[in-house]
Amino acid sequence: MPPEVLSAPLIVEFPFTRSTGPVLGAFLTGLRERVVLGARGSDGRVLCPPAEYDPVTAAELTELVPLGQLGTVTTWAWNERPRPYQPLDTPFAWVLVRLDGADTALLHALDAPRHAVRTGMRVAIRWTEERSGAITDIACFEPVPEAADAPDAAPPTRAEAPPHDHGR
């Protein structure tokens, strides 16, 4: 028999405050106002979440682009047993969502039944009621009924978003 092991709870904390700067700061402030911003990269691609520096060239990025509230699932994983602090406490899908107007995908949760989830499905942001300027201001994504995804039904920011053009 091994000896009895003494144990005690340990709460690890990171007791610092950080400033978020002009790119992430604008992104997080935008979420508070129900606006999602992307950053235009060196090659013209729109990155969301926005990056302060281009992932390929490392150039400093400053141009922010408003994006749509709808997007497309690029990959997903079904989470039958949510863990503490995760966005939903009922079964949900982890998703990468490419928002309309963006060329990269954002990680979040999708509240949908398992049988409805697939790559390529259309989803919309579900906002929290009280927003604080954090990624969790997006409560989760939810499926978009096909009729609601017609161009006329899309929010204005979607129509203004630049078209996908990888050739720029």
Partner 1 sequence: MSSPAPSAPRTGGRDVAVVAFAQSNHTRHTDQLSEVELVMPVLHDVLKQTGLTANRIGFTCSGSSDYLAGRAFSFTMALDGVGAWPPISESHVEMDGAWALYEAWVKLRTGEADTALVYSYGKSSPGSVRDVLTRQLDPYTLAPLWPDSIALAALQARALIDAGLTDERRLARTAVRSRRAATANPHAQLRGSADVEDLLRRPYEVEPLRRHDCPPISDGAAAVVLAAGDAARALHANPAWIRGVDHRIEAHQPGVRDLTDSPSTRLAATAAGAFDAPFDAAELHAPFTAQEVVLRRALDLDDRVRVNPSGGPLAANPVMAAGLIRLGEAAALIHRGEAGRVLAHATSGPCLQQNLVAVLENTGGGTR
The distance of closest approach from Cβ of residue 84 to partner 1 in the complex, given in angstroms and rounded to an integer, is 7
Binding flag, residue 80, partner 1 (CB under 8 A) = yes
And the tokens for 138?
């997006």
Residue choice 49, 68, 101, 143 for contact with partner 1 (CB under 8 A): 49
Binding flag, residue 29, partner 1 (CB under 8 A) = no
Q: Is the CB of residue 105 less than 8 Å from the CB of residue 67? A: no
92-99 and 106-110 beta bridge pairing: antiparallel
Q: Is the CB of residue 76 less than 8 Å from the CB of residue 117? A: yes
Distance of CA 57 to the CA centre of its chain: 23
Residue choice 68, 108, 112, 161 for contact with partner 1 (CB under 8 A): 108
Closest by Cα among 38, 85, 36, 43 to 63: 38
Binding flag, residue 132, partner 1 (CB under 8 A) = no
Residue choice 22, 33, 56, 89 for contact with partner 1 (CB under 8 A): 56
Binding flag, residue 76, partner 1 (CB under 8 A) = yes
Binding flag, residue 69, partner 1 (CB under 8 A) = no
Q: Which region holds residue 20: left if phi is over 0, alpha if psi is between -120 and 50, else beta?
A: alpha
Task: For residues 17 and 134, give the distance between their C-alpha atoms in angstroms, rounded to a whole number.
Answer: 14
Binding flag, residue 55, partner 1 (CB under 8 A) = yes
- Judged by the rule CB under 8 A, the positions of this chain that interact with partner 1 are 2-3, 5, 7, 10, 12, 18, 20, 24, 27-28, 47-49, 51, 55-58, 74-80, 83-87, 94, 96-98, 104-109, 119, 134-136
